[in-house]
Structure 1
Amino acid sequence: MGERGVDRTDFSTPQDLAHSLADAVANALREAMRERGGATLAVSGGTTPVRFFEALSAQDLDWSKVSVTLVDERYVPPSSDRSNERLARMHLLRGPAETAHLIPLYSEADSVEVAAQRADLRMLEILFPIDVVVLGMGHDGHTASFFPDAENLEELLDPLTRQAVFAVHAVSAGEPRLTLALARIASARMLVLHIEGSEKRDVLNAALAAPEARLPIRRVLDAAETTPIIYWAPSQEA
């Protein structure tokens, strides 16, 4: 166990991390299928999870019993290079994992708020709590789309909210976003933070050492209903 009740594992390379994390997530999904008849997985976007996605996609699972959704999403269509859905389809939902059921956050709508309402209804397809949530983290300490300057940050981080998906507006985000609420992330049966590089390691260490800063990542880890698991490796060009 690490400080303040987190498990931390450091790896020599991103490749080692990706394969170890894929094994751990696959085992958790298998256990969920044995216990619940199916499994749910929520994943994050960006460049960091690509190796992990590709390693997980090759795992021997009954993928037809796995529902996959996104922790957050830019309000862009899946044809966009910035789309997390596109990233998941390209690198995770392929090969053996092609039969998994994807529950996207994005839909074409008059506004991101309407899209959030639609995504919230789609979450009825998921048996909560989510079995595995894999988070990333930005250099500003945000995770999911919990940006420090989000207009509705306290609403997003309300542990008692019944809403599963919210729209997010934050200057630092660059564009509107959709995100799972803290309540849905923190209740995960397995909650993982996957980060790479010394800068992100330092941001995380600072967040854990100084709770008064209350960076979003710290607030999520504090709210977790199971022991959060942190996977870290040095950064490396993809």
Structure 2
Amino acid sequence: MSDVNWPVSVRPVLLGDAMLLAGQLTREVVTHLTVALTKRERASLAVSGGSTPKAFFELLSVAPLDWARVDVTLVDERWVDQRAPDSNERLVKQHLLQNGAARANFVGLRQAGSLDSRGQGACESALGGMTWPLDVVVLGMGNDGHTASFFPDAPELLEALGPDNPAKCIALTPASQPQRRVSLTFSALRAASFVALHIKGDDKLETLKKAVGNLDDVRAMPVRAFFRQSISVFWSP
């Protein structure tokens, strides 16, 4: 990783073992949430789906936190039934909202109704009941350079990445994806006190190198938008 020209805003945490990395990420997330709970009544955490965070979720679920005072939501979601195999909500409930973390208040992005009409409004309303700005955000990244549901081919991408967008969530319809998506906006995500990118594998490392090598072309690789601000990158093979 010595050949990566890291932007000054990026803090790399690079470990050779995925479980060790999950443990390090867990400790840092717990620290930030604990500090947040000393400052206000509730703390807030937004997490991503996929296979990479499963070990992190399971470690976090047994962390010594006052979970009853923690709001948990998703960075993004497919607009599918919450019981569907590819639902991020289903994944989080199976691997994170267990043990002590079962006492957390979960706010799902998939709400009743279609995404075209009242569904997005219901999502925005549900998110409004959480504590903002978010305390902790844990992002993932695809090999195309997307993060959250900010896909390069989403017609709504520029609106989603708008730094002054007042909305907390947005519907996206990337042509490359089989389902419509709902995502927290860039403005909602970037305001978090602690933002982490959790990735695994040599393929993601190559994508990461390409992304940090040219921060100007955000539309081609939307994850680049987050490398212009303070972010911790957690990577393991």
Shorter-normalised TM range: over 0.9
Task: State how far apart, in whole Å, the 2-side matches of 1:218 and 1:206 are.
Answer: 10
Letter in 2 for 1:21: L
Q: Are residues 1:233 and 2:221 paired?
A: no
Q: CA RMSD in A?
A: 1.3
Shift of residue 101, structure 1, vs aligned partner? 0.1
Partner of residue 135, structure 2: 131
Which runs of structure 1 show a deviation greater than 4 angstroms over 4 or more consecutive aligned residues?
none
Task: State how far apart, in whole Å, the 2-side matches of 1:154 and 1:119 are.
Answer: 20
Task: State how far apart, in whole Å, the 1-side matches of 2:48 and 2:104 are.
Answer: 16
Q: Are residues 1:190 and 2:194 paired?
A: yes
- Equivalent position SS for 1:143: coil
Matched residue pairs, number? 231
Partner of residue 53, structure 1: 57
User: What do the CA deviations read for 1:144-169 (whole angstroms, capped 9, x no partner)?
Assistant: 00000001100000000111111110
The alignment-based identity, stated in percent, is: 37
Alignment of 1:1-238 (within 5 A): 2-214=6-218, 215-222=221-228, 224=229, 227-234=230-237
User: Does the aligned pair in 2 maintain the 1:129–1:187 contact within 8 Å?
Assistant: yes
Rate the CA distance shift 1:113–1:17 in 2: closer, same or farther, 3 A.
Answer: farther
User: Does the aligned pair in 2 maintain the 1:134–1:192 contact within 8 Å?
Assistant: yes
Shift of residue 37, structure 1, vs aligned partner? 1.9
Task: State how far apart, in whole Å, the 1-side matches of 2:173 and 2:62 are.
Answer: 36
Rate the CA distance shift 1:112–1:231 in 2: closer, same or farther, 3 A.
Answer: farther
TM-score computed with the length of structure 2 as normaliser: 0.94
Shift of residue 213, structure 1, vs aligned partner? 3.0
Letter in 2 for 1:95: N
Q: Which moved more, 1:114-123 or 1:41-50?
A: 114-123
Letter in 2 for 1:183: S
Task: State how far apart, in whole Å, the 1-side matches of 2:143 and 2:125 are.
Answer: 32
Unaligned runs of 5+ in 1: none
Letter in 2 for 1:29: L
User: What do the CA deviations read for 1:178-214 (whole angstroms, capped 9, x no partner)?
Assistant: 0000000011100000000111111111111112332
Task: State how far apart, in whole Å, the 2-side matches of 1:12 and 1:94 are.
Answer: 28
Shift of residue 114, structure 1, vs aligned partner? 2.8
